[in-house]
Amino acid sequence: MDGAARGSWNMAVDHAILEACSKGAAHATIRFYRWAPPCLSIGYFQSLSREVDKEYCRAAGIEWVRRPTGGRAVLHDDEITYSVVAPESALRGSVLESYRTISEGLLEGFARLGIEASIVSVREKGMLHGESGACFDAPSWYEITVGGRKLVGSAQVRKDGAILQHGSILLSFDAERLLDALGVRPGTRRDRLREILDKNVGSLNKLADFDLSGEAVIEAMIFGFRKRFAADLECGMLSAAETERARELETSVYRNPEWNERK
């Protein structure tokens, strides 16, 4: 587990591990981390200018960063983020098949916490399109839900023979704060989106019988991945090369307005 860090650093580290893995300089890696200060991450293809209220975010102490992966906006605050980086050969099959494989590890972790979750593939049922720029307003490919509520929002990118998938596991959820960050003004549309989010989003501390700490969630997810992949996971640190590359990427990419505000 890594400690809480700025969004720009979190994305730079994932990116640096992905590059190292693609070159054979790093083993498959599962990482857990948090964000401080709170940060709105937007998908690679999203428009910052159209979908984020930068003035509100500045006033509220919320940073923003563009992810290297697709998907829609996630407000990272009271949550745990996981990332899986591996050679494509270690997660054989299509993008969908690798999504499902990783979701199965997460599912084992939730079972360890006593949460009866399930994997859904709602794209096949024509339920994919959400009404906002928020990741959690509708489930997507092979994601984790409880009673129809999405519990994990995930996104993936493949580059030079390696896979990066990361996702947000919500401990709690504040729909109003998310809608403010996305610039959704009071009115009929905001009321509708709040209802959609309230219906579709699940958070662990609403679903569990007791409040869960971040540490307890991470321990359960480590158990789940160990069980799913039948492998011993060894604790490790970034290599010197990965750390140096992450510092370069944080400056040149993830703190660079030309990257974050290019759309």
Dmax over Cα atoms in the chain, in whole Å?
A: 52
- CA dist 215 and 33 (Å) reads 10
- CA dist 62 and 37 (Å) reads 7
Q: How many residues does the chain have?
A: 263
* Residues whose CB is less than 8 angstroms from the CB of residue 68 and which lie 6 or more positions away in sequence, other chains included: 11, 14, 15, 18, 44, 157, 164
- CA dist 143 and 105 (Å) reads 11
Q: At 194, phi and psi to the nearest 5?
A: -60, -40
Give the active site residue among 21, 39, 135, 235. 135
Structure-token pair, residue 196: 């959609």
Q: What is the DSSP string of 39-106?
A: EEEE-TT--HHHH--HHHHHHHT-EEEE-SS-S-BEEESSEEEEEEEEEGGGS-S-HHHHHHHHHHHH
Residue pair 143/153 in contact by the 8 Å Cβ criterion: yes
Q: Using alpha carbons, select from 132, 169, 130 the residue that is nearest to residue 52.
A: 132
Catalytic annotation on 135?
A: yes
Active site residues: 135
